[in-house]
Amino acid sequence: MTKSLQNKGWTVTGAGILINLALGILYTWSIFKNAIKTSIEQGGAGSFNWEPAAINDPYAVCCLVFSFSMILAGKCQDKLGPRITALIGGLMVGIGFIWISQTMVYWNWIMGFGVLVGTGIGFGYSSATPPALKWFPPEKTGLIAGLVVSGFGLASVYIAPLAKYLLSIWSLQQSMLFFGIAFILVVCSASLLLVNPPPGYKPPRPKTAEVPLEDVFRFDSFLADCFPESNSGSPALRSISTGREMKPSQILKTIDFYILWLIYLAGAGAGLMVIGSVAGMAQKSMGEYAFFVVAIMAIGNAGGRIIAGILTDKIGPTITMVIMLLFQAILMFAAIPIVSSENAGGLLLSLLATFIGFNYGSNLSLFPLFTKSLWGLKNFGINYGIVFTAWGVGGFIMSRLSQMLTAKSGSYNSSFFIAGILLMAGMILTLIIQSRLKRQKTS
């Protein structure tokens, strides 16, 4: 019985990955954006007639709507279950793509891609991770969360070259129609495999505890000062676990929520800014092969989700978060001379994009785990939906600001500098929230 149920858990995990592999088309926006930009520049009948500063708006609105729809989707997931929630999401995404395949009007794209697709992605995404986590013990939640959300990040590996191919033989509208039909079939089919464990199910726990990673590398004194462990066991999620089950109305009254929200805004906003424009950044040095940077960035994005999940299980979420935010800030400052250089090679840009994607992807593993550990699993869907609004606000602000600054100056330098400063602030806030939790435990 236990073996059969364990296999069921991996089936649910696989279905969640498949759903995210489809919904991750959001990260391929920069390719669609370039097609719209080219159409505007060519002009004439049958071309897009948008303001250059507004090209990123459907993507920015999609990020914002995606994040806020996670609140409703999380409640739907908690009440109706993951299967129905994902089914609704697949239908909405497909219908949104079919809608924009029939129009070039700016406001139709805002409503179709920004609102309808954004809402559908929120419903599909929110239904993929929670059921998978419920099938596994706490010692594996980092790995499972990383695997499920890696699908969303990895999507561009196949969607980027596929989109480029479709655009070369069809129009942008015909390509959107293809994606709309395909995603209805894929997401709705995979949704049928999403189920929660039966009542009373308890995941089997490992017989022996793994050796903490800091014991191997002798980080003892540093971790003791900055990232205290629990008195027993590995420093995994228990290092910040409060042992509480809290409702949304309760978490909104805590300072920890707002600190965590601001950290998420900084980490997600910086990554989404680059993802939304990476093809355009690479256009100068890579020409028609700029789509390759989108695909290679997706590998880093997916890898960051998995590695961050594994590291969290080993050294705890706080130190993992600090490492990722610091590394991302360094990359943002390093990107200023690289992207603006006339001689920047494709390999260097690809490496930069890969590492930025890697660090961005870690956010999508770390923040669900922080949410689960701080406020429990009972209301995880809606609680994480509220936390996830930071992802959308960060993506909306940074992608919109970046497009405006780039349209005005022709350079990404200001955008990278602002993102780097935000990431440094996020790192400081991470240390503050850890310090607060330490005081709460000792008081």
- When divided into structural domains, the chain yields a total of 1
Q: 172-191 and 2-23 helices cross at what angle (nearest 10)? A: 170
Please report whether residue 357 resides in a domain.
yes
Which distant-in-sequence residues (6+ apart) come within 8 Å of 258 by Cβ? none
Residue 4, pLDDT score = 62
What is the rounded distance in angstroms from the CA atom of residue 260 to the CA atom of residue 349? 31
Residue 443's pLDDT band (boundaries 50, 70, 90)?
A: low
Burial class of 171 by CB neighbour count within 10 A (0 to 12, 13 to 18, 19+): middle
pLDDT digits (tens, 9 = 90+) for 162-220: 998 999 999 999 999 999 999 999 999 999 999 999 888 888 776 654 444 333 333 33
What is the rounded distance in angstroms from the CA atom of residue 211 to the CA atom of residue 129? 27
Please report whether residue 84 resides in a domain.
yes
Q: What percent of the chain has pLDDT over 90?
A: 43
- Does the pLDDT value for residue 354 go beyond 70? yes
Residue 441's pLDDT band (boundaries 50, 70, 90)?
A: low
Please provide the average confidence, as pLDDT, over all residues in the chain: 84
Please report whether residue 206 resides in a domain.
no
Please report whether residue 251 resides in a domain.
yes
CA dist 121 → 39, 191, 267, 320 (Å)? 27, 13, 20, 27
Task: Please give the residue that has the higher pLDDT: either 16 or 198.
Answer: 16
What is the rounded distance in angstroms from the CA atom of residue 37 to the CA atom of residue 43? 10
CB 318 within 8 A of CB 240: yes
Which distant-in-sequence residues (6+ apart) come within 8 Å of 197 by Cβ? 5, 8, 9, 134, 135, 203
Reduced to 3 DSSP states, what percent helix, strand and coil does the chain have, rounded to the nearest 5? 80, 0, 20
Residue 2, pLDDT score = 56
* Count, residues in the chain: 443
Reference 89, options 44, 61, 120; nearest CA is 120
- Does the pLDDT value for residue 6 go beyond 70? no
What is the rounded distance in angstroms from the CA atom of residue 209 to the CA atom of residue 141? 15
Residue 223, pLDDT score = 38
Q: Which of 38-42, 103-107, 245-249 has the highest mean pLDDT?
A: 103-107
- Does the pLDDT value for residue 440 go beyond 60? yes
What is the rounded distance in angstroms from the CA atom of residue 327 to the CA atom of residue 30? 24
pLDDT digits (tens, 9 = 90+) for 359-393: 998 998 889 888 888 888 788 878 888 998 999 99
Residue 224, pLDDT score = 41
Please report whether residue 211 resides in a domain.
no
pLDDT digits (tens, 9 = 90+) for 215-237: 333 333 333 444 443 333 444 44
Burial class of 192 by CB neighbour count within 10 A (0 to 12, 13 to 18, 19+): exposed
pLDDT digits (tens, 9 = 90+) for 385-437: 899 899 999 999 998 888 888 888 888 889 899 999 999 999 999 999 888 77
Q: Which domain holds residue 334?
A: 2-43+51-198+223-442
Please report whether residue 317 resides in a domain.
yes
pLDDT digits (tens, 9 = 90+) for 256-279: 999 999 999 999 999 988 888 877
* CATH number, residue 58: 1.20.1250.20
Residue 326, pLDDT score = 95
Please report whether residue 205 resides in a domain.
no
Task: Please give the residue that has the higher pLDDT: either 135 or 316.
Answer: 135
In this predicted structure, which of 108-117, 134-143, 225-234 has the lowest mean pLDDT?
225-234
Q: What is the mean pLDDT of residues 46-69?
A: 91
Please report whether residue 210 resides in a domain.
no
